[in-house]
Chain A
Amino acid sequence: MSTLPRASELGLIGCHVCGLVCRDIRAPDAACPRCGSALHRRKSASYSKTWALLIAAFLVYLPANLLPITRTVSLGDVDDNTILTGVVELWVKGSPYLAVIVFTASIVVPVLKFFALGLLLISSRRRSQWAQRQRAKLFRLVEFIGYWSMLDVFVVALLTALVQFGFFSQVEPLPGVVFFGLTVVITMLASMSFDPRLIWDGREFDD
């Protein structure tokens, strides 16, 4: 592994935005000569930003799951559904396959994101060399699947717009869906602010 040179050892720095390789002049206000973006060896304040966003996301994730996301009014009957009861309803009355997909997107993916980012933050801060390759892959997985959690939000928006039969049947969005949408946005911001290069920064690296 040590035969693979890293940019910091060679005095190089890569631009995040356009990919240009520059000489690292170690100036705090260095800017990319090609695209003008700020050059950082690592994303700035990656640990504190990611932790803050992760905690914020978790705080909105609780009401997102506990509060109902939709109200279905049908012939005077009122039926409130949370994300989980929505999945159960889809399993029982509709399609078990789709229920599994919705469950994965709405429950598994956000929980995986909390655990994965928490794990990455703690292990990288301790400069751990444990399972670095797997941790790098875990981060790319989190980035790749994160936005699919928005699935349920779109389902609620569609059903609200469609099911408008007055007294007979009507679907209304409830505050849970707002919290859920915010959870997805904030977890996406959290994974974007984590710098995967921190996984590989060993003990010799101080920044």
Chain B
Amino acid sequence: MPVQGVKPKIAPPTLWICEHCDTVYHRRELACGEVARCARCDAILARHHSIGVRGMLALVLTAMIAFVQANIWPIVTLGLNGQMISTTLWGCIVMMWREHTQVVAVIVACTLFFVPIGKMLLLGWVLLYARTGRRAPGFRLAMVTLYRIGPWTMSEVFVLGTLVAIVKANMYFDVIPDAGIFAYGVLMLIITAFSSIDVRRLWDLTEERPA
């Protein structure tokens, strides 16, 4: 969270510092598809940005649509002697809560619902303004929050988990994958596309303007 303290001077914006080993480099323009790596520890310093702000916004909006679908539609349907049971993500969360594993219910709700939705809304909000190089109201808080909650989304893992659950249930029941899991699949592709984008470059792409 933002703290108040002594504000040091900003160094000239011509430098990169490797986050993994603190080595300092001079910035340089990257050619299309080029990835700059740290000579000391081999971590990625920067990538060429092939997707602009508008492209990112389009990805976030598509992800939102896929996310709504993924949560509305059942994920899997199970059949036994003509009896059919299907479930959504929230079905799983409610069930885990009722079965006295509330901790798991909270983990599932956070990593598959609240954090992803928070991330998409915050990103959508800052990108909406960033299209014209502006900083959205609350830009600073939104960007800090995005950084903090970043590692806590697990939709990709859930897709694989569904596959395992389908195979396990298939030993005893008729299993029908439903629309929800395909929406999750789309979401997974978008997340993969997004994983190479460092949203922190929005700090450089936007500037504070007096309202």
A residues touching B (Cβ–Cβ < 8 Å)? Answer: 1, 4-8, 10, 12-14, 16-25, 27, 29-39, 74, 89-90, 93-95, 98, 101-102, 132-133, 136-137, 139-140, 147-148, 150-165, 168-169, 172-173, 175, 177-178, 181-182, 185, 188, 192, 196-197, 199-200
Contact (Cβ within 8 A) A155 B164: yes
Contact between chains at B85 and A154 (CB < 8 Å): no
Chain A residue with minimal CB distance to B146?
A17
A1, A6, A21: the one contacting B15 at CB < 8 Å is A21
Q: Are A35 and B2 in contact (CB under 8 A)?
A: yes
Report whether A197 and B167 are in contact in the complex, using a CB–CB cutoff of 8 Å. no
Contacts of B167 in A (CB 8 A): 90, 94-95, 98
Distance of A53 from chain B, by nearest CB (Å): 14
Considering only residues 127-151 of chain B, those with a C-beta below 8 Å from chain A are: 140, 143-144, 147, 151
Max chain A C-beta neighbours (<10 A), residue from B8, B43, B200: B8
**Contacting A21 at CB < 8 Å: which of B17, B94, B147?**
B17
A165 touches B104 (CB 8 A): no
Q: A136-B41, A181-B104, A197-B21 are in contact. Are A157 and B92 (CB under 8 A)?
A: yes
User: Is the CB–CB distance between A155 and B168 below 8 Å?
Assistant: yes
Is A151's CB under 8 angstroms from B10's CB?
no
- With CB as the reference atom, state the residue of chain A lying closest to B203: A18
A199's nearest neighbour on chain B, judged by CB, is B21
Interchain CB contact under 8 A, A133 and B154: no
Interface string of B38-78 (1 = CB under 8 A from A): 01111100000000000000000000000000000001101
Interface residues of B (CB under 8 A from A): 2-11, 13, 15-17, 19-24, 39-43, 75-76, 78, 80-81, 83, 85-87, 91-96, 99-101, 103-104, 107-108, 111-112, 140, 143-144, 147, 151, 154, 157-158, 160-165, 167-173, 200, 203
- Give the residues in chain A near B43, CB-CB below 8 Å: 136, 140
Closest 3 CB pairs of A and B: A154-B161, A36-B2, A14-B17
Please state if A17 and B147 are interface contacts (CB–CB under 8 Å). Answer: yes
Q: Nearest residue in B to A136 (C-beta to C-beta)?
A: B41
Q: Are B76 and A158 in contact (CB under 8 A)?
A: yes
Q: How many A-B residue pairs have CB under 8 A?
A: 241
Q: Looking at the complex, which one of A12, A33, A163 makes contact with B17 (CB distance below 8 Å)?
A: A12
- Contacts A12-B24, A22-B10, A30-B6 given; indicate if A154 touches B200 (C-beta within 8 A): no
- Of all chain A residues, the one with the shortest Cβ separation from B172 is A169
> Can you sample 26 A-B contacts with CB below 8 Å?
A4-B24, A4-B39, A12-B11, A17-B147, A21-B16, A23-B8, A23-B9, A23-B10, A25-B6, A25-B8, A37-B144, A90-B168, A140-B43, A147-B151, A147-B154, A150-B157, A153-B104, A154-B165, A157-B92, A159-B165, A161-B92, A165-B83, A165-B85, A168-B80, A196-B20, A199-B41
| A-side contacts of B165, CB under 8 Å | 154-155, 158-159, 162
Closest to B105 in A: A157
Question: Which of B39, B41, B173 is in CB contact (< 8 Å) with A200?
Answer: B41
Q: Which residue of B lies closest to A13 (CB)?
A: B8
A156 touches B104 (CB 8 A): yes
Q: Contacts A95-B167, A132-B41, A133-B42 given: A153-B107 contact, CB under 8 Å?
A: yes
